[in-house]
Amino acid sequence: MMHTAVGWHVELEFQEDETHTRAVAMVRLPDGSEVRAHGHASRHHTDANQPRVGEEIAGARALNELAMQMLTKAHGEIDQASGRTSHPIHV
C-alpha cells in the first residue's frame, strides 16, 4: 500500500486596534478552492493591553469556525456522492 503525503496551508491574518482584534483564517485546498472564516476578540477596558492574547482568542475562534465550515463542506460532499443525507459529522 502506497501512502501519499498531502498538506494544507492555513493562513491567519490579524487586524488590531486598542481594544479589538479581528482574525481571518484561510485554508487553500489541493483542488484550488479556499475556505475563509473570521474570529473576533475584544479587550475589556480593565484588562491589560496584551495583543498576543487577543490574537490567540480571535485566531482560535477563526480556526474553530474554519473547522465547522470544513465539516459542513465534507458533509455536503458525502451527501452529493451518495445521493442521501448522511449522519452528522461530530467534532
Question: Which residues 6+ apart lie within 8 Å of 71 measured at CB?
Answer: 89, 91
**Half-sphere exposure (CA, 13 Å, Cβ side) for 41?**
24
What is the rounded radius of gyration, in angstroms, for the C-alpha atoms of the chain? 17
pTM of the predicted model, to two decimals?
0.82
CA-wise closest residue to 27 among 40, 5, 11, 50: 11
C-alpha cell at 16: 488590531
Residue range 33-76, pLDDT digits in tens? 899 999 999 988 888 888 899 999 999 999 999 999 999 988 88
Q: Which backbone phi and psi does 48 adopt, to 5 degrees?
A: -65, 150
